[in-house]
């Protein structure tokens, strides 16, 4: 059966009478010429009149056909695929998938891709599926057992979603519901249709209506992280921008807002189809303990990847707990490190005896100092490990008079073994000046630099690769090591400050303990992704009947997430549907905010790579598919990509007719 993809062109068919009108006009153009003897001319006219009439009629027919076939070529004639008449007549249940991901916000000449998809779906179901039972599938949810009226209402109220949906998930849904017919309206982005996870299925008929944008230009803020991974009020934010365009992007303004106020702006240039990384510094001097940051650019029409929200807790006050058998031995050295008036006001130092360990909550402190502990109770090691799990920093100053006690504690925490004490002289040879403790605080050392000489060290027999040696001697013995234990940091100072006062009063020691204290907790996540399963641990002392609440700071919408309490910590588990929109969310215990989180849209959608019609056809050996042209759907008339296009043959016929006319004019007289 032949149909026309652009039937409106057929309105020009009456133009085919133009050659006939011209021919009729020419018949009336006579001119009489009188001769004295016309007998010979009459004889010639009689012989040629019949021949001329035949030629004129042939030319008239050819010229009329040329116009007709030119018009037919513009109308795009096609022969329907042989299966077309039977496709939608098997049963009365059909699933319709509408891709409402952010990539569908792009446009072509007919509007946004989502508008085209929903309009086409409405046209088809209203014409071909009057009495069907519908299942509507979108990235953001499922709607089952709808009638035509209900489906129409749902289709007209579809909005963009940040949720990622895959063809594999679609296949799983169809299999569970035992649906064997599905219409797919999508841009077929690579993130949706991955052939690596395509399940072979010959029982389901898939009807694809692909729709593609006219341009895929996009600038995306992909990620950001801190240069210094500590919760400092002064820092630098490192960010990455990708240019998914064939044109360079010059001087793109990138704006940083902290707690609602603009803190900095920088211009970034990104070459075509490339990405760049840049840095933007900032400082925060507010009283709130939570820092809310927003990094943003302006780029249209795709806007979901123009902002990055991030947050962390700022350490406005620093609490230090010194645990010792002989109170206040190390206390003067810590006082000296925080002798500045501003630091004195912000730093609270408390000293307790090891026997008083049950009177304090270790998790209330930013730093725990283990100062020459000679003996400790059996549960003390577990308390330290639990404190590290909470994210607290622990400084270990060993007792050289009680080797066994220090060795046992070091082995339990780090796995390192102390073999002996060496009382020789040790020269500091290497300082990791790029380490966060010393970065930009001291100059690179040389052999001529005067550094303290150490007179007593523990010799470690198995230096752990898990530890980071920050200061070491010429012989390679560690003087200062950092171990990341769970969420916290364990610092081991391998010296006896009672016999090494030069080191204990040197900038090396002061800078280290100052940075350890003021850095506070290391930051794990600046932000999480919306519509993604997420879990995290918060510290909260709650009664058994109390629950933590998750509150959206934009609209104050509340929900109680799934939570698992273990001691003084609570693990919160968020499902895929719990966080649908980006922004800031508070974790509230009773009325107090104990944590602030940032959520962003996943960036999977910003790379606009599509499955082409040719690639789609290659999947026919795995699934029963039919492909239609979404641009030519009108009043339920659907044109299959596999339908045979006759436009080429219309053009060939026109060329043949024109060639015939030329030959007729040139050789017919002969």
**Domain 84-215+608-642 top-level CATH class:** alpha beta
Residue 435's nearest CA partner among 491, 371, 355, 504 is 491
Return the SS3 of 634: strand
Instruction: Report the share of the chain in percent with pLDDT over 70.
Output: 85
Region of 111 on the Ramachandran plot (φ > 0 left; ψ -120 to 50 alpha; else beta): left
Return the SS3 of 290: strand
CATH architecture of 528-600: Sandwich (2.60)
- How much is the pLDDT for 316? 66
- HSE on the CB side for 579, CA within 13 Å? 30
More confidently predicted of 487 and 457:
457
- How much is the pLDDT for 34? 61
More confidently predicted of 669 and 535:
535
8 A C-beta contact, residue 570 and residue 548? yes
pLDDT at residue 46 is higher than 60: no
For 288-315, what is the mean pLDDT? 87
Distance in angstroms (rounded) separating the CA atoms of residues 465 and 457: 20
User: Quick one: pLDDT band at residue 144, thresholds 50, 70, 90?
Assistant: very high
- How much is the pLDDT for 522? 53
Residues 550-579 pLDDT 10s: 999 999 999 999 988 876 678 889 988 889
More confidently predicted of 633 and 92:
92
- How much is the pLDDT for 89? 44
pLDDT at residue 658 is higher than 90: no
Whether a cis peptide bond, with omega within 30° of 0, leads into 40 is no
Fold of 318-519: Rossmann fold (3.40.50)
User: Quick one: pLDDT band at residue 359, thresholds 50, 70, 90?
Assistant: confident
User: Quick one: pLDDT band at residue 88, thresholds 50, 70, 90?
Assistant: very low
User: Quick one: pLDDT band at residue 635, thresholds 50, 70, 90?
Assistant: very low
Strands 2-4, 181-186: parallel, antiparallel or unpaired by DSSP? unpaired
Question: CATH topology of 84-215+608-642 equal to that of 528-600?
Answer: no
User: Quick one: pLDDT band at residue 669, thresholds 50, 70, 90?
Assistant: low
For 521-548, what is the mean pLDDT? 78
Query: Has domain 219-315 been given CATH number 2.40.110.20?
Result: no
Domain ranges across the chain: 2-80+647-667, 84-215+608-642, 219-315, 318-519, 528-600
Residues 114-138 pLDDT 10s: 999 999 998 888 877 777 889 999 9
Give CB contacts under 8 A, 24+ apart, made by 60-63. 60/19, 60/20, 60/23, 62/657, 62/660, 62/661, 62/664, 63/19, 63/661
8 A C-beta contact, residue 601 and residue 563? no
């Amino acid at each position: 059966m032949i149909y026309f993809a652009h039937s409106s062109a057929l309105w020009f068919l009456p133009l085919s009478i133009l050659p006939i009108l011209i021919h009729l006009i020419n018949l009336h153009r006579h001119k009489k010429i009188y001769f004295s003897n016309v007998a010979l001319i009459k004889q010639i006219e009689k012989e040629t009149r019949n021949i001329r009439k035949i030629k004129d009629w042939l030319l008239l027919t050819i010229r009329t056909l040329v116009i007709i076939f030119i018009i037919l070529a513009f109308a795009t004639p096609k022969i329907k695929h042989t299966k077309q008449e039977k496709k939608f007549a098997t049963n009365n249940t059909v699933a319709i998938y509408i891709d409402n991901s952010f990539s569908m916000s792009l446009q072509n000449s007919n509007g946004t891709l989502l508008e085209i998809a929903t309009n086409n779906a409405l046209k088809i179901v209203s014409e071909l599926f009057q009495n069907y039972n519908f299942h509507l599938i979108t990235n953001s949810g499922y709607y089952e057992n709808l009638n035509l009226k209900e489906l129409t209402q749902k289709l007209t109220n579809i909005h963009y979603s940040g949720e990622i949906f895959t063809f594999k998930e679609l296949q799983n849904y169809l299999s569970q519901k035992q649906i064997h017919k599905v219409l797919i309206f999508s841009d077929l982005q690579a993130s949706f249709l991955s052939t690596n996870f395509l399940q072979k299925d010959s029982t389901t008929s898939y009807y694809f209506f692909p729709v593609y944008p006219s341009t895929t230009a996009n600038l995306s803020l992909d990620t950001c992280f801190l240069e210094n991974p500590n919760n400092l009020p002064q820092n630098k934010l490192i960010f990455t921008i990708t240019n998914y365009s064939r044109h360079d992007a010059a001087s793109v303004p990138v704006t940083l807002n902290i707690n609602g106020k603009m803190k900095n702006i920088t211009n970034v240039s990104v070459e075509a189809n490339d990405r760049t990384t840049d840095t933007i510094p900032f400082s925060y001097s507010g009283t709130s303990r939570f820092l809310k940051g927003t990094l943003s650019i302006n780029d249209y029409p795709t806007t979901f990847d123009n902002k990055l929200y991030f947050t962390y807790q700022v350490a406005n006050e620093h609490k230090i707990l010194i645990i010792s058998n002989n109170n206040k031995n190390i206390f003067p050295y810590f006082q000296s490190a925080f002798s500045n008036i501003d630091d004195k006001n912000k730093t609270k130092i408390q000293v307790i005896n090891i026997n008083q360990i049950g009177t304090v909550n270790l998790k209330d402190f930013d730093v725990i100092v283990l100062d020459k502990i000679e003996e400790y109770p059996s549960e003390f090691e577990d308390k330290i490990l639990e404190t590290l799990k909470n994210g607290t920093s622990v400084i270990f100053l060993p007792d050289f008079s009680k080797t066994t006690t220090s060795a046992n504690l070091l082995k339990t925490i780090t796995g390192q073994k102390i073999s002996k004490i060496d009382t020789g002289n040790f020269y500091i040879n290497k300082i990791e000046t790029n380490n966060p403790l010393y970065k930009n605080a001291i100059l690179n050392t040389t052999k001529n630099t005067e550094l303290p000489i150490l007179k007593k060290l523990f010799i470690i027999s198995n230096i752990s690769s898990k530890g980071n040696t920050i200061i070491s001697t010429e012989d390679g013995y560690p003087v200062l090591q950092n171990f990341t234990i769970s969420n916290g940091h364990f610092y081991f100072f391998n010296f006896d400050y009672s016999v090494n006062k030069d080191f204990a009063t040197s900038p090396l020691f002061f800078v280290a303990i100052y940075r350890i204290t003021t850095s506070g907790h290391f930051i794990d996540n600046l932000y999480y992704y919306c519509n993604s399963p997420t879990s995290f641990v918060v510290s909260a002392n709650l009664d058994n009947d109390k629950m933590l609440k998750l509150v959206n700071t934009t609209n104050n919408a509340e929900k109680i997430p799934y939570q698992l309490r273990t001691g003084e910590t609570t693990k919160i588990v968020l499902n895929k549907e719990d966080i649908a929109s980006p922004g800031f969310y508070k974790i509230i215990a009773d009325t107090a905010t104990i944590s602030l989180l940032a959520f962003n849209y996943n960036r999977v959608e910003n790379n606009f790579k599509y499955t082409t019609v040719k690639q789609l056809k290659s999947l026919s050996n795995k699934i029963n598919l039919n492909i239609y042209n979404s641009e030519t759907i009108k009043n339920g008339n659907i044109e299959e990509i596999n339908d045979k296009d006759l436009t080429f043959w219309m053009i060939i016929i026109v060329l043949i007719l024109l060639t015939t006319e030329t030959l007729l004019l040139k050789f017919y007289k002969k």
